[in-house]
Amino acid sequence: MIALMLGFLAVLVRVEAQIELESATSLAAAAAVSAPAGDYALSSRYALDTWQGTLHYYGYLRPGALQGCAGYGDAGEQVTCSGTATLLFRETPMGLVIPFDLDISASATARSSGYRSR
Partner 1 sequence: MSAWGGRIREACGQATVEFAMVIGVFLLLLFSALSASLYTVERGAAVTGVAAGARVAAGAAPGNPNASNVEGATAEVARVVKPSLFGTRVNQLPGGASCRSPRQVPAGEVDVCARQVPSGMVRVELRGRPANPAPVAFGLDWVLDVGAEIQPVTFKP
| Residues at the interface with partner 1 (CB under 8 A) | 1-2, 5, 8-9, 12, 15-16, 19-20, 23-24, 26-27, 30-31, 34-36, 39, 42, 46, 49-50, 53-54, 117-118
Q: Please provide the DSSP assignment of 62-106 as one string.
A: EEEEEES----SSTT-EEEEEEEEEE-GGGSGGGGT--S-EEEEE
Q: Smallest distance from the beta carbon of 16 to partner 1, in angstroms?
A: 5
Q: Smallest distance from the beta carbon of 38 to partner 1, in angstroms?
A: 10
Which residues are CB-contacts of 24 (< 8 A; sequence separation ≥ 6)?
Answer: 50, 51, 54, 55, 63, 83
Q: Smallest distance from the beta carbon of 98 to partner 1, in angstroms?
A: 16
Nearer to partner 1, 67 or 113 (CB): 113
Nearer to partner 1, 29 or 68 (CB): 29
Angle at the Cα of 19 from the Cα atoms of 16 and 24, rounded to 5 degrees: 130
